[in-house]
Amino acid sequence: MKKLFLIIVAAFTLCHAFAQSASYKISGKADFAKDGDKVYIADMQYFDFIPTDSAVIKDKKFFFSGKQDAAALKFIILIQDQKPLSINDIILENKDMQVEIFNDSTKKLADVKGSVSTELWREFCKIENSVSAKSADPWKTMNDSTASEAARKAAKTELDSIDNVQEALRTKFICEHIPSAISDMLLGYYSEALGAENQKKILDLMKSNNSEYPYYKKIVAQHEADSKTSTGKQFTDIALPGLDGKVIKVSDLVKKNKLTIIDFWASWCGPCRAEMPNVIKVYNKYHSKGLEIVGVSLDTDKKAWSNAVKKLGIPWKQMSDLKGWSSKGAASYNVQAIPATVLINQKGEIIARDLRGDELMTKLAEILK
């Protein structure tokens, strides 16, 4: 179960990247509630609940309405006297739903009508948990400092086998319910964990069913961006405002220099700031020999971005549309994590991606002898 939630938590950020046209309405009932009690719709982030909407109980009823970008796992939480008395997971999508919740002491799941996706989610969780339960003992052995090397090795083999079974069952469940919002959501949540072969199987089946679901479209777009910006391909130009507001073009830098590095980073990114001294070291050593760097910031706060550039002593040009993870520059190269780098030669060819530290220094020494 822990592994299930970790993957889901990592995927929550995807929920805000898509758009649909309809809306949702939740008509709720809670016979154990009192007037004035609060009900929340919440996300889970790192095992903490983050409310996204709230309603007040009146006559044992509550109501929510809104627009959901894509089908997503949410939690309905009823608070009474500052204590949570009921926590239920549902799949929120743009549907009309009727939800009756019960005091957790009854151990009754919420009664959800009008949401086939929630029914399928519960079915999926039963399958997932039945497999996850088998990993408890080998996981315990793997983390037991007194266990022998042979025992740990055997536990690792068992865990790998369980992972393979999970991948197969997840793939089977998703494929069996294509086309549907729940298949699309599970694809978005588990896409990386499924492995390339299973992911391709799902995407091909969705394509044959003319899927227009948002996670599917997002992943297809990512694959297309990957194929266009992989090593050996011509670079994709980026034109964004610099710190002074004037537009900077990567193409202008590529023409003038033997090598150009696009450095994707952000002021709020700890690993980026930790890596920056290495990048500055590379710049100082090879700038006079034909190396140029341009930073593409995934910041949303211009002042924070500017202050970080000054504090870190970054000498090269910077650009950003201040849209964070919605940055057009990051989307052009399918950047899903930062820091990230793209190394381009004067012909405009991408010759390496995501080199850092010694690897980057070695590659530049090889080219700029």
- The answer, yes or no, to whether residue 89 has pLDDT greater than 60, is yes
Read off φ and ψ for residue 267, nearest 5 degrees: -65, -30
Parallel, antiparallel or unpaired: strands 38-45 and 48-56: antiparallel
**CA-to-CA distance for 273 and 335, rounded, in angstroms?**
17
Output the pLDDT for position 266: 97
pLDDT confidence bin for 357, thresholds 50/70/90: confident
Output the pLDDT for position 369: 76
Output the pLDDT for position 229: 86
**CA-to-CA distance for 42 and 53, rounded, in angstroms?**
7
pLDDT tens digit sequence for 103-129: 999 999 999 999 999 999 999 999 999
- The answer, yes or no, to whether residue 180 has pLDDT greater than 80, is yes
Output the pLDDT for position 3: 42
pLDDT tens digit sequence for 230-256: 899 999 999 999 999 999 999 999 999
Domains and CATH numbers, the chain: 2-114 (2.60.40.1120), 124-228 (no CATH), 239-367 (3.40.30.10)
Higher per-residue confidence, 20 vs 34: 34
What single-letter amino acid sits at 223?
A: H
Residue with the two structure tokens 């996204």: 52
Output the pLDDT for position 210: 85
Peptide bond into 214 cis (omega under 30): no
Output the pLDDT for position 51: 95
Handedness of CA 324, 327, 331, 335 (dihedral sign): negative
What single-letter amino acid sits at 247?
A: V
Q: Which residues pair with 62 in a beta bridge?
A: 28
End-to-end Cα separation, the chain, in angstroms: 53
**pTM, 2 dp:** 0.69
List, in order, residues 6 or more apart from 214 with CB less than 8 Å away. 17, 18, 19, 20, 69, 70, 184, 188
